[in-house]
Amino acid sequence: MTPDQVKPDRDAPIGIFDSGFGGLTVLRAVVDQLPEEDIIYLGDTARAPYGEKTIAEVREYALECLDHLVDLGVKALVIACNSASSAVLRDARERYSVPVIDVILPAARRTVGATRTGQVGVICTEATATSRSYDDAFIAAPQIHLKTQACPRFVEFVEDGITGGPELLGVAREYLAPLQAADIDTLILGCTHYPLLTGPLSYLLGDSVTLVSSADECAKATYARLTALDLLHTPRAANGHRRQQGRRRFLTTGNPERFEGIGRRLIGDLVADVEQFS
């Protein structure tokens, strides 16, 4: 937000956008850190997954959804999708008068402090891998040697409710083998679906590899940005009673019933009353 821009209403909601369901891990982390904040979540499930689309397609779809959130009066935009962050972050920060938080840069900053050897892996979608966004994020940290591995099937497993078992472990072993051969000591979960696979990933990699969740780091960055800009929700409502929990609104371009079913499977009863957006 530049000095000549009008300050957003601190009691307006936070807008969270994702191509589908992975961003719900960001929403859950934001709720944990900012429970009093109102949130509008928009998942573009009708056109997901973004990870298989061209950067131009992702840019077009993401900006359309972000425009809608801004029209709804949000005070900040959280791009809770690595593929979308790769495609539109610079455009979004120039296009909107509200602060824009992404998932890539916060995870990169955390990684610089976490790695002991500089040997870092990132697992992500094909679109994020092709964009080389994480390479760009570490351009000012020449001590980081990055190994990128696209893991497209992980999204399918998560959305099918599969977060363990022999088939998933077999696929994960194949994906992780090049990273283990590179002797990484830190792994960035570069897709917001992947924090739901922390169990099998930790099992296969062992305690010597630190996992950095782009979802958790994005939530921390959201808290820090809103605090720095004095945009946190007003502590007390008009009646003088402190609100314990913010309101959450869910929109999807796909089927609302399917969204609610998968959403509840992923993060529980935080997801309810999903609305259609087209």
pLDDT reading at 227 higher than 90: yes
Whether pTM exceeds 0.85: yes
Best CA proximity match to 220, nearest among 69, 53, 102, 55: 102
Q: Residue 42 phi/psi, 5° resolution?
A: -125, 120
Query: Tell me: the pLDDT tens digits for 194-211?
Result: 999 999 999 999 999 999
Can you give the pLDDT at residue 1?
A: 46
Domains, the chain, with CATH or none: 14-102+217-276 (3.40.50.1860), 104-214 (3.40.50.1860)
pLDDT at 238 over 60: no
Catalytic position from the list 65, 124, 151, 191: 191
State the Cα–Cα distance between residues 62 and 82, nearest whole angstrom: 11
Distance of CA 244 to CAs 95, 146, 148, Å? 33, 42, 41
Q: Which of 81, 124, 151, 218 is catalytic?
A: 81
Task: Count other Cβ atoms within 10 Å, centred on residue 149.
Answer: 19
Give mean pLDDT, residues 77-105.
96
* 191 counts as catalytic: yes
Count CA atoms closer than 13 A to 149's CA, side-chain side: 25
pLDDT given for residue 242 in this prediction: 61
Given the DSSP bridges, would you call strands 76-79 and 14-18 parallel, antiparallel or unpaired? parallel
Task: Name the band, by pLDDT with cuts 50, 70 and 90, for residue 5.
Answer: low
Q: Mapping DSSP to helix (H, G, I), strand (E, B) and coil, where does residue 175 land?
A: helix
Catalytic residue flag (residue 124)? no
